[in-house]
Amino acid sequence: MTKAKVAVLISGAGTNMAALLYAAKAADCPYELVLVASNNPEAPGLALAAGEGIAIWAQSHKGMSRAAFDALVDERLRAAGADYVALAGYMRILSDDFVAGWTDRMLNIHPSLLPLYKGLDTHQRAIDAGDRFGGCSVHVVTPALDDGPVLAQTPVAIVPGDTAETLAERVRFAEHQLYPAALAAFVTRERAPDWLLGRVRTLAMALPEADEVTSHGMPCFGIVKGKKFAYFTHDHHGDGKTALLVKISGADEQAQLIELDEARYYRPAYFGDGWIGIRLDLGDTDWDAIGDWLRKSWLAIAPKKLAGLMGVAEEF
């Protein structure tokens, strides 16, 4: 199993980083830590990570502009080969450019049940509001503070006599359980059949007069009351592949594609020379390219009048 490479950003003790690190020691964990970085060279979590054999890097942000410091951090993350970034008590507001560079690749854990209590003092605010539960949330990082899509949450009961400190202690236990599981689910989503089908469906159904039916035991997409231009296949006839099947010009193009990248392209059984299989379960799918494949396949079967209308629309 190829493990996703994760860099973790911390500013202090790094207890959530430690939870991610120790979870990654399990043989079946789908991620590994490749770097722990900090804006605080004295952060205790750095020594913990180094002791466990994880590469570390630290530099104070003081005296640097936000953009310049974030560019330096970004350089280090990419040099480490990180696929994803996990914020774990990283006490820095990130620049928009930095966040954009890791779109859908950066997670954070926040000590509240988002969208409640974004920002600081979350536990006291929950107690003051008379809430029955505090808790924690893992979310995708977006430019707005604590505002990205929530992936997972754990509620933690607020008991009589709780203070912000006692509630925070129990929430930390919940965080250490929630974050590794949410990260593992997130880094494997691009190989999950349901997620992949959802991406294909969105692209295919955006084409003019497209519909979805089941054929040959697979979800497939065609022009309403017409021919099919794409099939989504998952372990069909036990082949172990999750893939998109689209129309091509014939045997020569099929052979050229397979020669170009035999790990990604293949000749789909029972479909003949006019189709190519494109693996979606390799973890590095170029979705813009998949959109182009679907469009070309749609054009291959579309009536001339409908195809002509699409061409006119694209000119504008």
Q: Could you tell me how many residues make up the chain?
A: 316
Pairing of strands 242-247, 218-223: unpaired
Contact 19, 31 (CB under 8 A): no
Contact 107, 189 (CB under 8 A): no
| Cα separations in angstroms, 59 against 36, 51, 72, 88 | 12, 19, 9, 17
Hey, what amino acid is at 142? T
Hey, what amino acid is at 204? A
CA distance 21 to 86: 11
Q: Got the DSSP string for 247-264? A: E-S-HHHHHHHHHH-TTT
Catalytic residue list: 110
CA distance 148 to 182: 14
Helix (H, G, I), strand (E, B) or coil at 9: strand
* Ranges of H-type helices in 25-153: 44-51, 66-79, 96-101, 122-128
Tell me 132's DSSP state: S
